[in-house]
Structure 1
Amino acid sequence: MTDSASRNLDFDNVERPTPAELTAQLVDLLTVEKIDNDRFRGRPQVDGIGRVFGGQVIAQGLQAAQASIGDGKVAHSLHAYFLRGGEEGPPIDYTIARDFDGRSFANRRAVASQDGTPILNLTASFQTPEDGLAHENMPFPHVADPETLKSDYQLRREIFADKLDLMSEGQRRFMVRPRPIEMRPTDGLHWMSTTPRTPKSQTWFKTVGKLPDDPALHRAVIAYASDYTLLGTAAIAHGLSWMRGELVGASLDHAIWFHAPARADEWLLYDTDSPWSGNGRGYNRGRIFTEGGTLVASVAQEGMMRKRRSKAN
């Protein structure tokens, strides 16, 4: 895209695929190709620019691990470490190590690389489903129903429609780009606030179209979406924002525990908080609920979070 073309980007003239097309693009993005024994390749994001979204690498790594496990066992947790920022455009290769195969549990390691350079290490654990002692001690948050809320896209359009000319190309693309996952924050665009407050946030999300009936794919989509909004929760406590250029940051690690099956094309609530930040890092937690109140996943992430220093005149 030329600079003049990017300057003309706005909410009205950007090409808007149908919900079905956007969802198909996401399914294609998260469907890894087997290229050899325990070697897989992930496709790049269509029209991607800049650094690869961390949720994409996590989800593709999980899909590669799931493809190597066979039938009978399902992923119940993953732990990932971001090593380097990936670059949009080149494909990402995933190499699987089969560390353990037991009767009830199995373990896989996935190394994501671009041009032979590792960018992420992921370990996933799998279990044969079974009955067991069960309890939930995580009350469902009291939040507005998703159908009563405006989408993230609608809020961005209302606030930034007449401010796009003041933004960089990357910021404009972020604002106007249609996305396969619809997000409806319960507290508006918290990254617009300059007032420090308790670092908590709630956002409803689901794919804009229907997904195939593949539980492994739904887990991958949830893993993909779990990287949205999470790192920014720690910034709420300081009234600072990455979008305003006030912070420098990057995800360092990411963990997910899958508690129960869930459909990613039905509304899920992402309830996040940040108990701590310091030493140039921010720690964040997330809980994902169905609209009926079932806790289906827990998430934790730590990221680098530094206040951007002003350039000397």
Structure 2
Amino acid sequence: MFRGRSTDESMQRVFGGQVAGQALVAAARTVDEPDRSVHSLHAYFLRPGDPTKPILYDVDRLRDGRSFTTRRVMAIQHGRAIFNLHASFHIGETGLDFQELMPPDLPDPDGLPDWKTRMEPHREALGPSWDRPRPIDIRYIRDDPMSRAGVTASGQQVWLRAAGSLPDDDVVHACVVTYASDMTLLDTTLLPFGLGWNDTGIQMASLDHAMWFHRP
């Protein structure tokens, strides 16, 4: 059993990426073999999390095989499950490998405005969230999520990185990526419809989540 907490108690509910990242930490810390890293996770958000209360992470050891390790994690608050995660860990092996080339015309992230600078025109609409500390540095290559009314696209491009230095720990790195993965997906789903964060009549929430990690 592990215990997690929220760093910002002023939010209405716990950020989904936080619960997913903490659950993955809990799962990984029960894997005894040091040569096994996470290669996939599948999760469901069951209930909103309460940021004023700690979250308990109950880990089940489903499998400890010769090549694969599987863990199930239940996040619990107020005696009820709020999140469920299955994570699979695998020994390092050489196999087929393919990766799309980076587009050659992408602007350098250091030449793009950070989140607070980009969202400055929307400061009043964002309220307290504009000034909230952000552990992930997000650099939008094109329009921000508040300036997309009437603009349609099938996807978006962003640069992401941790806002501070990280320890030399593959588990921590994977969990930070898991945290960050829940930050731009919902606003990406609005793009084909020409919608933005500030459009009325829209309610967004993460319901399920899946990730694949191709290398530590």
TM-score under structure 2 length normalisation: 0.93
| Residue identity matched to 1:123 | H
Q: Using the TM superposition, give the Cα deviation of residue 245 of structure 1 relative to its aligned residue in structure 2, in angstroms.
A: 3.7
Q: Kindly provide the CA deviation profile for residues 54-107 of structure 1, in whole angstroms up to 9, marking residues without a partner as x.
A: 000000000000011122311111000111111211111111111111011010
Does structure 1 retain, via aligned residues, the 8 Å contact 2:122–2:146? no
Aligned to 1:212: 167
Richer in strand (by share): 1
Preserved CA contact (<8 Å) 1:240 1:246: no
Q: CA offsets, 1:188-225, max 9 Å, x none?
A: 30332111412311111112221111110010000000
Q: Number of residues paired by the alignment?
A: 214
User: 1:84 aligned to 2:27?
Assistant: no
Pairing of 1:229-268 with structure 2 (within 5 A): 229-261=184-216
Which residue identity does 1:76 align to in structure 2?
H
The residue that corresponds to 1:22 in the other structure is: none
Partner of 1:99: 62
Match of 2:133 among 168, 175, 178: 178
User: 1:140 & 1:56 partners in 2: Cα distance?
Assistant: 28
> Matched residues in 1 for 2:200 and 2:77: separation?
28
Q: Do the aligned residues in 1 keep the contact of 2:14 with 2:48 (CA within 8 Å)?
A: yes
Q: TM-score, normalised by structure 1?
A: 0.65
**Equivalent of 2:107, from 127, 130, 144?**
144
Q: In the alignment, residue 166 of structure 2 is paired with which amino acid?
A: L
Q: Unaligned 5+ residue runs, structure 1? A: 1-38, 262-313
Post-superposition, which runs of at least 4 consecutive aligned residues in structure 1 deviate over 4 A? none
Structure 2 distance, partners of 1:160, 1:231, is 18
Aligned match of 2:90: 127
Could you say what secondary structure the match of 1:248 adopts? coil
Say if 2:71 and 2:87, in contact at 8 Å, map to a contact too: yes
Q: Supply the AA of the counterpart residue of 2:88.
A: S
How far residue 137 of structure 1 moved from its aligned partner, in angstroms, is 4.5
Q: Could you tell me the percent identity over the aligned residues?
A: 41
* Partner of residue 53, structure 1: 15
The letter of the residue matching 2:22 is Q
Q: Distance in 2 between matches of 1:246 and 1:139?
A: 38
Give how far 1:144 is off.
1.2
Tell me the alpha carbon deviations over residues 99-118 of structure 1, each in whole angstroms, 9 at most, x when there is no partner: 11101101000011111111
Matches of 1:86 and 1:201, distance apart in 2: 28
Note if contact 1:55-1:223 (Cα within 8 Å) is conserved in structure 2. Answer: yes
